Amino acid sequence: MKKIQKFTPYMVAAVMLLSLSGCAGMSTQDKNTAIGAGVGAVGGAILTGGSTIGTVGGAAVGGVIGHEVSKDK
């Protein structure tokens, strides 16, 4: 089980990088939301030792931050 938990952040990062290749038609705000969610997921996974709740929570928080950063004022 420890091997899977150590491998999870790398797997999430790989999926994030592959999914970003499909962002050509997205707006800047959409791209920032996706990047924020990916970075948050990796950060949440690392901080909680690969916990599913930590990964999902990090993705949610990162997505919201990424969305708000590029919002028109």
**Pair 33, 66: CB distance under 8 Å:** yes
- Domain residue limits, the chain: 2-69
Q: What is the pLDDT of residue 59?
A: 92
Q: Average pLDDT in the 1-19 region?
A: 73
Rounded Cα distance between 59 and 35, Å, is: 9
Q: Model confidence at 2, in pLDDT bands (50, 70, 90)?
A: low
Q: Is the pLDDT of residue 13 over 70?
A: yes
* 47 vs 24 pLDDT, higher one: 47
Cβ-count burial of 18 within 10 angstroms (0-12 exposed, 13-18 middle, 19+ buried)?
exposed
For residues 25-47, average pLDDT = 88
